[in-house]
Amino acid sequence: MPGEETVREWTDAELMACVVAYREMQVAKVAGEPVNKTAKRNQVLATALTSRSAGSYEFRMSNISAVVDELGLPILSGYQPRRNVGAKVTAKLLPMINSVWQRQQSSETPTADPEALQTRVRSARSKIKANAAMPPPVNPVSGSKIEATTRRFVRDPNVIAWVLVTAAGRCEACDDPAPFVREDGEPYLEVHHVRPLGEGGPDSADNAVGICPTCHRRFHHGADRERYRRETIKRVNRLRNYPATNSSGVLSSK
């Protein structure tokens, strides 16, 4: 049937075949060896992707470039990132990329780019789930600002992931379950700094909680937000009550 291939979901084996082919060509290129992308494509189509077209292979390789790029890794030249990957496919590709690149034990790097941050959070989350004994991450670089079209804080995806895994699908402020499940199968919670980054709070696990959207709005806009902040700090043992400072690092009255 026309269009059947685009509707049918890719299997894990098909995705892994593309990830392995991508990495093999990248490693060969770095080593200065000749790389024939067409020959590699034909090889993969003749073995692992017998029911896929050349166009779908090329599209998927560009999707892999998008995920690799958002992880802050070098991409394979000739495959420009196509970012319409989808949450489900991204969730499958991340552990494959981490395995083939042998980066299961490495931390994700901080970023101020929202899309890259979400991808790195998903990657860090899968690593933390695989290693339950992993301690709270500490990164002094995140929490700083960079100049872009708008000013954004550099965020540590490892902190976000660790907090979300620790929250285990329940709001750490009100204890209600996450309001819904995300497209990638994870419970939807948001990470909030109990001392905001703009007030000098650090981007660290002892200043961050996994909370539901309602509590997040309450922390920002509630008439009782300061009381609620202090109650949450008492409720969650790991949290510290960091003092508020201004942009010069001077303590404020908050």
pLDDT at position 247, please? 57
**What angle, 0 to 180 degrees and rounded to 10, lies between the N-to-C axes of helices 213-221 and 225-235?**
130
Mean pLDDT value of segment 149-171: 88
pLDDT at position 146, please? 44
CB 109 within 8 A of CB 120: yes
CA 129/CA 125 separation, integer angstroms: 6
DSSP conformation letters of 126-195 = HHHHH-TTPPPP--SSTT-EE-SSS-EE-B-HHHHHHHHHHHTTB-TTT-PBPSSB-TTS-B--EEEESS
Q: What is the pLDDT of residues 128-141, one digit of tens each?
A: 988 876 777 765 54
pTM check: above 0.85 = no
What's the pLDDT band for 11 if we cut at 50, 70, 90?
A: very high
Query: Is the pLDDT confidence value at 184 over 80?
Result: yes
- Out of 57-61, 83-87, 165-169, 202-206, least confident range: 83-87
CB atoms within 10 A of CB 11: 12
- What is the percent of the chain where pLDDT is above 90? 75
Query: Is the pLDDT confidence value at 248 over 60?
Result: no
